[in-house]
Structure 1
Amino acid sequence: MGEHPVGVVVTPDGKRAYVTNYDANSISVIDTASNKVTATIPVGKGPGGLAVAPDGGRLYVANGPSNDVWVIDTGDHSVVAKVDVGKSPHGIAVAPDGKRAYVTDFGVNQLSVLDLASNEVVAKVDVGKSPYGVAVTPDGKRVYVTNAASNNVSVIDTESNKVTATVPVGTNPVAIAIKP
């Protein structure tokens, strides 16, 4: 494992886990059958959040200090694209249909919406202060964003890319999960 592991995601088939190594600017690839690191993928500065496409073919890595998201081919570990997003991206989630990714831009209080066919930002959504965690509902109709400094969660409609509700929660929310 690298230095300062931050995020982890498992492929849909459960065969590999990917771990961000923040201080080493890399991703460790773990074979879940042997529990051994099988590869290390160099990425941008300070990788934090990561997500895998529903088909397992692409890995998306949010690099905070680099202000970008790297798209990695999971077959050969090559970099497919580097997408500039807002300042200090952290959380990232992929829609169930694999068409969009949602990235929290901690430094500018926004959510970047990425079109995964073109690997371009197609929308920016203003959310609360210091957005960190992000999750998409199983039907892909809503995105939930934790806003650490606002002590709330923004609910975004994915069709309009508009905030439809703001839910007060406890102090400093940073992670979120949705139960199907």
Structure 2
Amino acid sequence: MKRSIFILLLVICHSLCGFSQTHTSGIELLKKTVIGGEGGWDYVSVSSEDRRLYVSHNNQVEVLNADTHEKIGVIPNTKGVHGICAIQSLGKGFITNGKANNVTVFDIKTLQPLAQIATDEDPDALLYDPFTNRVFIFNNDAKSITVIDALSNKVIKTFNAGGNPEAGVTDGAGTIYVNLEDANEIVVFDSKTLVIKKRFKLSPGEEPTGLAYDKQTHRLFSTCRKSQLMMVMDADDGNVVARLPIGKLTDGAIFDAQSKLVACSNGEGTITIVKELAPDKFEVVDTIVTARGAKTLAFDSKTEHLYTVTAQLGDTPAPTAANPKPRPAIIPGTFMLLEYGKKL
């Protein structure tokens, strides 16, 4: 009798283990490419139309083929580069230079600079809004947003956001949503009038960084670094509909409308994958191991692949008065691109 019960328990355990294994995304590492060089990094972006990757790297942008990872060229003199967006319809792109307090406009075919536009202090993330043909620059340290006419390269306005702006998204119909990292909220404003319409509190989410959006269900996905939570909110009224555990040191988030998956990259060396089962029902379905320092994320809508960048890291120096939050040393020559997706 005891033996029968033991065998039955083994069968149940095996069955449950098999069931748990089916709750995975199927996403895995497809390709790793060492780019080399020295210095830090921030955002990586992908242009699905012309198959190009734009990778921030120290004081330049590495431009690679999205499929082969072959280097196409370099955009130099982008001091403290953070974000890059390429606009196919206009034939140009925009780069935020955090240490130069300006934006570089470049030709997407030749990679040559077209203009430099002054911003407030520490331009970080950026967002192109096709509804208004405007580029929104999020000046983190200055707590402001600089709005640029993408056609003329002229600054329309710089206004106070009420906190340190991080990532932003557009609904494509006149509304912009931006994480405010220190205020633990999302500021909502009109992309034409630039009037702030609402502020959504993210509590218990703290230090929001990555932000993604589902246009169909009007859901915002804000990944919060300090609280290690993904806060899912109704984009219309700011109500929190779900909160999900994520990894440490998150800094990027994307939403795949085809698979209904949300992914957030965590600097600890993981990507958290969340499945949208219904507008108010979500679950973590996978945690993908990446590499330490891989904190930002780009999504290729054509292949449904994810890209992140990092390097081999050494020891972290002791904190000082001048540098109270030191980062780990970067081992020269190890800067790399990692591509994830489902194997065909």
Please give the TM-score of this superposition, normalised by the length of structure 1: 0.93
Shift of 1:120: 2.0
* Residue type at the aligned position of 1:109: Q
Match of 2:221 in 1: 102
* Residue type at the aligned position of 1:141: K
The runs of at least 4 consecutive aligned structure 1 residues that moved more than 6 Å come to none
Q: Distance in 2 between matches of 1:112 and 1:2?
A: 29
Match of 1:11 in 2: 129
Equivalent residues in 2 for 1:46-85, closer than 5 Å: 46-55=164-173, 57-85=174-202
Match of 1:154 in 2: 272
Deviation per residue, 1:41-82 (Å, 9 max, x gap): 211221111111133x11111111111110011121111111
Match of 1:129 in 2: 248
SS at match of 1:23: coil
Match of 1:115 in 2: 234
Question: For the Cα contact (< 8 Å) 2:131–2:172, is it kept in 1?
Answer: no
Counterpart pick for 2:145 among 22, 27, 34: 27
Q: Which runs of 5+ in 1 are unaligned?
A: none
Shift of 1:122: 1.6
Q: Which runs of 5+ in 2 are unaligned?
A: 1-118, 302-344
Shift of 1:175: 1.4
* Residue type at the aligned position of 1:162: E
Q: Distance in 2 between matches of 1:97 and 1:41?
A: 30
* Residue type at the aligned position of 2:236: A
* Residue type at the aligned position of 2:247: G
Deviation per residue, 1:12-67 (Å, 9 max, x gap): 34711001011211111000111111111211221111111133x11111111111
Deviation per residue, 1:103-131 (Å, 9 max, x gap): 01111000011101212222111111122
- Count of matched residue pairs: 178
Match of 2:298 in 1: 177
Shift of 1:96: 3.5
Q: Distance in 2 between matches of 1:125 and 1:94?
A: 16
* Residue type at the aligned position of 2:289: P
Q: Distance in 1 between matches of 2:157 and 2:283?
A: 39
> What fraction of aligned residue pairs are identical, expressed as a percent?
25
SS at match of 1:158: strand
Q: Which protein has greater RCO, CA pairs closer than 8 Å, 6+ apart?
A: 2
Q: Distance in 2 between matches of 1:33 and 1:11?
A: 12
Q: Distance in 1 between matches of 2:177 and 2:275?
A: 22
Greater helix proportion = 2
